[in-house]
Amino acid sequence: MKYYDKLIFELSKEGRMGYSLPRPKDNLDTCDSIPANLRRSEAPLLPQVSEVDVVRHYTNLSQMNFGVDTGFYPLGSCTMKYNPKINEEIASMPQFAGIHPLQKNLPGIEAVYQGLDSALAAITGMKHFTFKPCAGAHGELTGLMIIREYHMSRGDMKRTRIIVPDSAHGTNPASAAVCGLEIVQVKSNANGLVDVEDLKPLLDDTIAGIMMTNPNTLGLFEKDIREIAQLVHECGGLLYYDGANMNPLIGTVRPGDMGFDVMHLNLHKSFSTPHGGGGPGSGPVGVCEKLVPFFKVNVSGFNGNFGVMLRAYAYILMLGRENVKMCGRLATLGANYIKESLKDCYKLPLAQVCKHEFVFDGLVNDGAREGVAGATTLDVAKRLLDYGFHAPTIYFPLLFHQAIMIEPTETESKETLDQFIEVMRTIAQEAAQDPDLLHTAPHNTPISRPDETAAARNPILKIWDECAC
Ligand SMILES: *Cc1c(COP(=O)(O)O)cnc(C)c1O
């Protein structure tokens, strides 16, 4: 146990201090200005530590974490690109950071909203965006409410069902359910794309629309999208675009041109805000012209997380019209490079050219033999941590049992990709020779394999009872 494995409360020593305040003029115990019923009867439970104790404790804790600033983070579906520090500088300017949500008459802020709205409209082919939604899933709910309102405004009350592909991100059916829509699943074909023949019989006058991600969660471009758009529109439905995978398309292809009517963007993913810890995010919703009046659906009291919008705007302006196109192209090149370099060691169920991410289905040779279990995707992911890489997304999408979903993003150099490929090959060899080494991984991290179910179901969030402080 290293000394910083202790809680800050366990470092406490009676009388040790990190600060000193001037003594109050009056003795507080006798101070009449604080009513007796508001005074503490006991001193607060605070650790008594020196400044250096605090600095070392939290600096060491911060280094037990993993972030895109410390290493490669190929977490599929999450677009963990490096976030330029200029974004942080701009978002923390007191002129922006110090504004109160109820403050009015702020032309500078208005200009940011308008500038970002037109940039996103140009990138996506939508007419306008609303910035209220605070995350992708919140954007999905907003977009679906817009679709529902649109049908209802036309007296078309039967449209209560929404089509969602079996490869969709879990938030898609979840948002549809929260919106009160019934989910109808459409299957993927052998190439991992929406099966148009399976879709056709689902289309009737009860269909509100379809939710699609393009490229989909397998990293594959839905090349039949124009035909799908025509079929859905012909039956009176609308098309919702889950824009979480917009990164490879920015500056090249627009959802509006594919036939989508409503969409969200995950500004924190594609447009660069740190998001490993789960927020704050921004999921602005864009719509085609005829849906602009339905922005009136009420999803949030305020105008979203402004700091994330500032970062996105700074990022777009910094790159400019020409460079922004390079992001998707380099991300796509990197993903295909890793895929082709590793497909002899990891099973590649869908071998075609991918966009910014792709999915392996476990190891080709997992080392299973008499009396020894083979290494699983979880084992590979845990072992990667020993080599200083964040694990890819695992066991998603649900179409494959041992899914490993890798998204390198454009900000990684070829050298980094080569190191990752080498480590993934080493792990494949280890699995073949000594799978137990993987079963017990990670070996070099502060903790090894926590009981993930217990940690989620019975988290220990307070230490008062456990520690004597
Ligand atoms: C991340 C993601 C979402 C959800 O976005 P949040 O901002 O996490 O709510 C939806 N769909 C896909 C494909 C995603 O990758």
Q: What is the mean pLDDT of the chain?
A: 93
pLDDT band at 26 (very low <50, low <70, confident <90, very high): low
**Ligand 1 cavity residues, CB under 6 Å:** 77, 135-137, 169, 171, 213, 217, 242, 244-245, 266, 281, 283
User: Do residues 157 and 301 share a domain?
Assistant: yes
Which residues contact residue 8 at a Cβ distance below 8 angstroms, ignoring those fewer than 6 apart? 47, 49, 53, 54, 57
Q: What is the mean pLDDT of residues 265-287?
A: 92
**What's the pLDDT at 427?**
98
Q: pLDDT tens, 350-371?
A: 999 999 999 999 999 999 999 9
| pLDDT score of 28 | 59
Which range of residues forms the domain containing residue 45?
8-62
Q: Answer with the residue of higher pLDDT: 233 or 61.
A: 233
Domain tally, the chain: 3
74 in any annotated domain:
no
CATH of the domain at 279: 3.40.640.10
Ligand 1 centroid distance, CA of 125 (Å): 21
Pair 111, 39 in one domain:
no
CA distance 94 to 112: 15
Nearest C-alpha to atom 3 of ligand 1 is from which residue? Answer: 136
Co-location of 180 and 294 in the same domain: yes
Residue, of 279 and 53, whose pLDDT is higher: 53
The CA 140 to ligand 1 mean position distance, Å, reads: 9
CA of 424 to the centre of ligand 1 (A): 26
In this structure, are 134 and 195 located in the same domain?
yes
> Distance from the CA of 136 to the center of ligand 1, in angstroms?
5
Question: Does residue 461 lie in a domain region?
Answer: no
Tell me 181's DSSP state. P
pLDDT band at 70 (very low <50, low <70, confident <90, very high): very high
Q: How many residues appear in the chain?
A: 469
Ligand 1 probe mutation, 132, 171, 222, most atoms within 8 A of CB:
171
pLDDT digits (tens, 9 = 90+) for 202-213: 999 999 999 999
Residue 73 lies in a domain: no
> Residue 123 — very low, low, confident or very high, per pLDDT cuts 50/70/90?
very high
Looking at the fold, whether 342 and 304 belong to one and the same domain comes out as no
- The CATH number given to whatever domain includes residue 417 is 3.90.1150.10
User: Distance of CA 436 to CAs 40, 45, 227, 346, 433, Å?
Assistant: 56, 45, 50, 18, 9
**What is the percentage of the chain residues whose pLDDT exceeds 70?**
96
Domain boundary among 291, 320, 349: 320
Whether residue 142 lies inside any domain: the answer is yes
* Residue 58 tokens, joined: 């939290």
Residue with the nearest Cα to atom 8 of ligand 1?
A: 136
Residues 316, 334 within the same domain: no
Cα distance between residue 135 and residue 425, in whole Å: 36
Whether 331 and 283 share a structural domain: no
Q: 171 C-alpha vs ligand 1 centroid, how far in Å?
A: 7
Give domain status of residue 20, yes or no: yes
Confirm whether 254 is domain-assigned: yes
78, 142, 169, 268, best to mutate for ligand 1 pocket (most atoms within 8 Å of CB):
169
Q: Do residues 21 and 128 share a domain?
A: no
User: Do 244 and 383 fall into the same domain?
Assistant: no
Please tell me the least confidently modeled range out of 145-149, 364-368, 415-419, 453-457.
Answer: 453-457
CA distances to 130, 152, 258 from 139, in Å: 9, 20, 20
* Residue among 110, 181, 90, 185 nearest 140 (CA): 181
Residue 79 inside a domain? The answer is: no
Shortest-distance Cα residue to atom 14 of ligand 1:
244
**One domain for residues 340 and 258:** no
Indicate which atom in ligand 1 lies nearest the CA of residue 245: 13
- Report pTM: 0.90
Distance (Å, rounded) from C-alpha 412 to C-alpha 307? 25
Rg (CA), the chain: 26
In terms of domains, do 305 and 259 share one? yes
Q: Which of 320, 336, 351 lies at the terminal end of a domain, its last residue? A: 320
Domain match, 249 and 362 both:
no
More reliable by pLDDT, 19 or 319: 319
State the alpha helices, DSSP H only, in 391-451: 414-433, 435-439
Does pLDDT of 398 surpass 60? yes
Residue 236 is assigned to a structural domain of this protein: yes
Banded pLDDT at 231 (limits 50, 70, 90): very high
